Amino acid sequence: MNILVCVKRVPQTGGRIVLTADGQAIDTKFLGHTISPHEECGVEEAVQIVEKEGGSSAVLTLGPAEAEEQLRDAMAIGIDRAILLETTGGEWDPVSTAGAIAETVEAQEAAHGHFDLLFFGNEAADTGDYQIGVRVAVALGRPVINGIKDIWFTDDRHAVLARREAPGGGWETYELPLPVVLGVKEGLNLPRYPSVPGRLRAKKKEVERVALGSSPSGALGLGAGEDSAGLGGAVPGPTKLLLRLPQEERSAAEVIGRGAEAAPAVVDMLERIGVLAR
Amino acid sequence: MSGPVLAFIEHAGGEPDRLSLEALAFARSLVTKLGAALEAVVLGSGVEGVAGQLGAHGVGAAHVATDARLDDFAPAAWGAAIRTIVAARAPAAVVVAGSERGNEVLAHVAARLGLPMAANVIEVTPGNSWRLVRQRWAGSLLEDAALDAPIRLLSVAPHAVAAAPTAATSVPTISTFAPELEPADLVARVVRREPKASAGVSLADAKVVVGGGRGVGSAAGFANLEALAKELGGAVGGSRVVTSLGWRPHSDQIGQTGLRIAPDLYIACGISGAIQHIVGCKAAKRILAINTDPDSPIMAVADYAVIGDLGAVVPAITAEIERRRAPA
């Protein structure tokens, strides 16, 4: 199986989001970055499948030069090679992002042979656009299904079986002929941590860089310019104007007590709010 | 003169889904701003009953495709059916629920039409360029955005608006249509279903949830939480740290990449309160935090707090409940 995993570099937000003064981004001065959680599972799954089935794996991201860190992380747990679509000047909108990825997949396949599987995260942790994988699949004319938490193959290895949670509980399984695009979700597997030898090996692996520059939809995204290659005439957007924090309604917690001595007061509260009645 | 607003309605067991009714309420406020008509699209055999109920939610005309190939989830085919009606009605906007299926189907519509899509929108203001507010980080952050497109494709963030029926009840005009499906649209479809394993109260439905974080210390440490949950007829969940460490299965994860719960009471034990976790539990009516650190972020969303070691506090609460329940 030849697999491409598309990942996104996102900040590790922790307990509180702080925005930059211009409201255009999360202030990451004191934050680390990580691969968005669903895609971490995509990386792990690709490594496991190639370990079992043979073939090769690649990881791709569209982002700033610093996103090389996430590509090295993926290679440290066993991905073979990496492609960085290097952007400048802030975020790309989802239409432009998917256009650039679809073009890159075609170029990669022309050079290295086709991918049986393309993995995307179901949605990126930060922007939550819920569309990149579907757009790339439609551009490439491949079937796609999202929300996948289980992947296996038919005996002849011509098709993939993919399972996801059904609304209201239970599971639904899809059978799709290869090549296919899958949007995966956390819970698919438990991603391993990179080992020290893995990190050392990753340093020597290839990162292919493609300079994309700034978003083809322009700083304010008001219509695609003539140089919006890869969009195939699609209208880009939506265009981010400003980020802001939601108003929180809750007031500060009432401290009931300290330590085990607080138990009677806690149970008084449980009785008062009616969760203890049977 | 604006084209109609077209709302896509998901349904189960002959009833429209709650999130779709929320999307309808959102669409209703949009048609008021636009001076447009509200129309709906409903897919699958025997859905006329679902369509008939939509009058109470302001729908004037419902388009139904009673095609058995659309009965079970097939995102590309559902998207193709929506595109058939989009071509016929030239809507100003298509509005869907920001459910897993809603977002997925709308992405297919957007990709095939070559149009932008805004996911998890909470407010929209039409104009020359439409302005909208949408959720990032599962609602921990908001984005003001511009959307410039001939047809605006929007999914509505779950629980951003209430699913209230209108005062005036009417029966919508129901018309059937034949969706234009290509063989490729039907490749991704359900081939097998497995029912829900019924074992006690589920985390999603429990009235009381006891959640554990890194502070629980180990997989074995959850025994105390299990005992308290049992006394309260509740369920046990955990933070992402806990499922990533393998202390609990991923299906027990409460958070952005796990379950979003809305119990009457959530008891957060040894959970610092990363936003990844908070978005999964903030819909709880009340939150009790048990934590050694009075300054941890969980305190900002908790209603009640006990400052102390959960290894001592949790068993003491369980024992106190047992003591009060014991016959005198």
Assign residue B64 the CATH number of its domain.
3.40.50.620
* pLDDT score for A249: 66
Do B131 and B234 sit in the same domain of this protein?
no
Among B141, B232, B273, the residue with its CB nearest the CB of A275 is: B232
- Chain B residues with CB inside 8 Å of A26's CB? 141
Asked if residue B153 lies in contact with residue B104, where contact means CB atoms within 8 angstroms, the answer is no
Q: Domain span at residue A23?
A: 2-213
* pLDDT score for A218: 55
Q: Which of B153, B186, B219 is the last residue of a domain?
A: B186
B201 is a domain residue: no
> Is the pLDDT confidence value at B50 over 80?
yes
Do B54 and B154 sit in the same domain of this protein?
yes
Q: Which residue has the higher pLDDT, B126 or B2?
A: B126
Cβ distance B305 to A134 less than 8 Å, yes or no, reads no
> Is the pLDDT confidence value at B284 over 80?
yes
* pLDDT score for A16: 82
B108-121 average pLDDT score: 98
Assign residue A111 the CATH number of its domain.
3.40.50.620
First to last CA, chain A: 55
* Cα A182 to Cα A103, A186, A274, B219, B282, distances in angstroms: 18, 13, 45, 32, 30
* pLDDT score for A223: 41
* pLDDT score for A216: 79
> Is the pLDDT confidence value at A275 over 80?
yes
Whole-angstrom distance, CA of residue B273 vs CA of residue A14: 8
**Alpha helix locations (H) across A123-239?**
132-140, 196-204
Do B150 and B216 sit in the same domain of this protein?
no
Assign residue B307 the CATH number of its domain.
3.40.50.1220
B27-32 average pLDDT score: 96
Report how many domains make up chain A: 1
Band (B166; pLDDT cuts 50, 70, 90): confident
SS3 for B188-244 is: CCEEEEECCCCCCCCCCCCCEEEEECHHHCCCCCHHHHHHHHHHCCCEEEECHHHHH
3-state helix, strand, coil in chain A (%, to 5): 30, 30, 40
B276-293 average pLDDT score: 95
B97 is a domain residue: yes
Do B148 and B221 sit in the same domain of this protein?
no
A202-208 average pLDDT score: 95
* pLDDT score for B198: 67
A125 is a domain residue: yes
Report ipTM (2 d.p.): 0.94
Please tell me if residue B94 touches chain A, with a CB cutoff of 8 Å: no
**Which residue type, as a one-letter code, is found at position B199?**
A
Nearest CA in chain A to B298: A15
Mean per-residue pLDDT over chain A, rounded: 92
A278 is a domain residue: no
Q: Domain span at residue B36?
A: 5-186
Do B175 and B294 sit in the same domain of this protein?
no
Among A145, A176, A259, the residue with its CB nearest the CB of B313 is: A259
Whole-angstrom distance, CA of residue B60 vs CA of residue B24: 12
Report how many domains make up chain B: 2
First to last CA, chain B: 75
B77-99 average pLDDT score: 98
Please tell me if residue A239 touches chain B, with a CB cutoff of 8 Å: yes
Whole-angstrom distance, CA of residue A248 vs CA of residue A252: 11
* pLDDT score for B167: 72
Whole-angstrom distance, CA of residue B42 vs CA of residue B65: 7
Write the pLDDT tens digit of every residue in A110-136: 999 999 999 999 999 999 999 999 999
Which of B250, B295, B301 is the best substitution to test chain A (most A C-beta atoms within 10 A)?
B250
B184-201 average pLDDT score: 88
B196 is a domain residue: no
Band (B1; pLDDT cuts 50, 70, 90): low
* pLDDT score for B165: 84
Q: Are strands A144-153 and A159-165 parallel, antiparallel or unpaired?
A: antiparallel
B45 is a domain residue: yes
Least confident of B139-148, B188-197, B298-307: B188-197
Cβ distance A143 to B137 less than 8 Å, yes or no, reads no
A236 is a domain residue: no
B99 is a domain residue: yes
Please tell me if residue A219 touches chain B, with a CB cutoff of 8 Å: no
A167 is a domain residue: yes
B93-115 average pLDDT score: 98
Q: CA dihedral in degrees (B27, B111, A128, B12; nearest 10)?
A: 50
Band (B20; pLDDT cuts 50, 70, 90): very high
Whole-angstrom distance, CA of residue B10 vs CA of residue B44: 10
Do B159 and B41 sit in the same domain of this protein?
yes
Count of A–B CB contacts within 8 Å? 288
> Is the pLDDT confidence value at A230 over 80?
no
* pLDDT score for A222: 41
Whole-angstrom distance, CA of residue B126 vs CA of residue A246: 22
* pLDDT score for A179: 98
* pLDDT score for B160: 87
Nearest CA in chain A to B302: A253
* Cα A205 to Cα A114, A201, A237, B51, B260, distances in angstroms: 21, 7, 35, 57, 39
Do B67 and B177 sit in the same domain of this protein?
yes
Q: Chain A: nearest CA to B297, how far in angstroms?
A: 6
- Chain B residues with CB inside 8 Å of A147's CB? 100, 104
Which of A20, A101, A138 is the best substitution to test chain B (most B C-beta atoms within 10 A)?
A138
- Chain A residues with CB inside 8 Å of B253's CB? 186-187
Do B182 and B253 sit in the same domain of this protein?
no
Write the pLDDT tens digit of every residue in A135-184: 999 999 999 999 999 999 999 999 999 999 998 889 999 999 999 999 99
B199 is a domain residue: no
Write the pLDDT tens digit of every residue in B193-217: 999 876 678 898 899 999 999 999 9
B101 is a domain residue: yes
Q: What percent of chain B has pLDDT over 70?
A: 99
Do B179 and B230 sit in the same domain of this protein?
no
> Is the pLDDT confidence value at B275 over 80?
yes
A45 is a domain residue: yes
* pLDDT score for A89: 87
Do B58 and B165 sit in the same domain of this protein?
yes
User: Hey, which residues 241-260 in chain B have their CB within 8 Å of chain A?
Assistant: 244, 246, 250-251, 253, 256-258
In sequence order, the 6+-apart residues with CB closer than 8 A to the CB of B32 are: none
A242 is a domain residue: no
B195 is a domain residue: no
